Amino acid sequence: MRPFLTILLLAISSNAVAQQTLTVLSSNATNALIHELHPQFEKLSGYTLRVKFDNSAALKSRIEKGEACDVAVLTASAISDLAMAGKLAASSRKDVARAGVGMAIHPMATKPDISSLDTLKGALITARSITYVEQGATASTLRSIFAKLGLTELMNAKTVYSDSAAHAVAERKAELGFTQISEILNVPGATFAAPLPPEVQVYTTFSAAARPDAPAAAQQFIALLTSAATAPIITKVGMEVIPPDRLPPIPSSQLTPAQREAVEAFKTARGTEISGPFYPLLRSPELMTRTRAMGDYLRFKSALPPRLSEFVILLTAREWMQQYEWNAHYPIAVKAGVKRETLDAIAEGRRPSGMTSEETILYDFCQELHHEKSISDATYDRALKAFGEQGVVDAIGISGYYTLLAMTLNTARTPAGESGSPVLRPIPK
């Protein structure tokens, strides 16, 4: 009996230890931040922290395939996808920090000037090789820059894909590496040369969320990551503090009966969970329900076909510099038939060339409506001839509806996430 009791006690002891371990899957970009907080968390919680690092795309795939974790710290878009799939609890999600893209070089290399788009182009042309993570958060940003500079073919020939751009540069596998600045600063043998030029800099937001049945220590860990006391550490490791979401998702356990009814009505009407502007709007459940009903018509049943209604939505998002709205509708507009070149010009604050006649009429109509606060007779007559009275009124309705959503999102500071679409920047006066 004694050997059996020994084995049983060891098993119980082992199980107790396992229960006191918190498993975290984290992006490479937040490695330094978590490393700094590691001992503090273990001291506060009594848990042993077990962290695995990789790029966000790889970790997202691993979680989707069933790899267990208590907390994931990944790009905001990856966290959103996993929450939608039920792998993570949406109510536990918190934005941690954001990171800009920088260039890494070997410590013995000469530092190139990339302070402007022209000097960046020169550095890319001169470089013998470059590296970035093919499925990483930086990839879509770089490919967009290469296309903008007319260097796609040249850069494809020079690119050496790697699991970590900073490590690849440190090991001299490539001359220039591009990744989040926070990751570069955390790799011995790699030197942070400079951030991308302001006109093409893109920030990636990193968020944390717990699995639905995670222990209370998971929320304790997320709270530590996002506490005000952690802000100086975030800055120290090369990331930036994100202004807090003022009206974040409400945990289901805290919903009032009216809010719960509004959520169920939304699910029934749209066939999906609430998201984006409907989180803050839920504070006024009847307003949320009526807003959603208005959107059901304007988004899906208006007199304007999807190509044109999405065009108007994106003109409104650009006017309010509303990145969430822009990210959500950019791919829908492209799929509906709006040219990327047209949308990219709008993102940059330029009048697009090559618009269709209908797009040109709506562009002028919306520009006047937003900027002049009225519509000239000439513009009205063109719109009336093209779309009829119902079409004109519906175009106004779409502009107004998405203005309401943009105002809500801007006030709430709802995180935009990432989608690979252009980043909206202030238009110079």
**Mean pLDDT computed over 26-55:** 94
Distance, first Cα to last Cα, the chain: 85
pLDDT at 5 over 50: no
E strand residue ranges, 129-237: 130-131, 176-180, 191-195, 203-210
**Mean pLDDT computed over 157-164:** 94
Reported as a single tens digit per residue, the pLDDT across 362-404 is: 999 999 999 999 999 999 999 999 999 999 999 999 999 999 9
**Which range among 104-113, 214-223, 304-313, 409-418 shows the weakest confidence by mean pLDDT?**
409-418
**Mean pLDDT computed over 41-69:** 94
Cβ atoms of 20 and 216 within 8 Å: the answer is no
In the Cβ-directed half-sphere of 234, how many Cα atoms lie within 13 Å?
Answer: 21
pLDDT at 243 over 90: no
pLDDT at 219 over 90: yes
> Measured between alpha carbons, how far is 254 from 412 in angstroms, rounded to an integer?
19
381 CB-contact burial (10 Å; exposed 0-12 / middle 13-18 / buried 19+): exposed
130-131 and 191-195: which strand pairing? unpaired
Token pair of 34, please? Answer: 């978590």
Token pair of 68, please? Answer: 């267990």
Reported as a single tens digit per residue, the pLDDT across 260-283 is: 999 999 999 999 989 999 999 999
Structural domains in the chain plus CATH codes: 2-97+205-236 (3.40.190.10), 99-203 (3.40.190.10), 302-412 (1.20.1290.10)
H helix intervals, 20-161? 31-45, 56-64, 76-84, 117-126, 139-149, 152-158
Confidence of residue 3 (pLDDT cuts 50, 70, 90): low
Cβ atoms of 245 and 412 within 8 Å: the answer is yes
Nearest alpha carbon to residue 244 among 418, 424, 415: 415
Confidence of residue 429 (pLDDT cuts 50, 70, 90): low
> Measured between alpha carbons, how far is 322 from 424 in angstroms, rounded to an integer?
8
> Measured between alpha carbons, how far is 415 from 323 in angstroms, rounded to an integer?
9
3-state secondary structure of 321: coil
pLDDT at 118 over 90: yes
Give the pLDDT of residue 148. Answer: 84
Give the pLDDT of residue 9. Answer: 40
**Mean pLDDT computed over 174-192:** 92
pLDDT at 179 over 70: yes
Give the pLDDT of residue 6. Answer: 47
Give the pLDDT of residue 70. Answer: 97
Q: Give me the chain's average pLDDT, please.
A: 91
> Measured between alpha carbons, how far is 301 from 190 in angstroms, rounded to an integer?
54
pLDDT at 137 over 90: no
Global pTM value:
0.68
The residues, ordered by sequence, that sit 6+ positions from 41 with a Cβ below 8 Å of its Cβ are 47, 49, 220, 221, 224
Nearest alpha carbon to residue 102 among 40, 183, 38: 183
Give the pLDDT of residue 12. Answer: 40
pLDDT at 84 over 80: yes
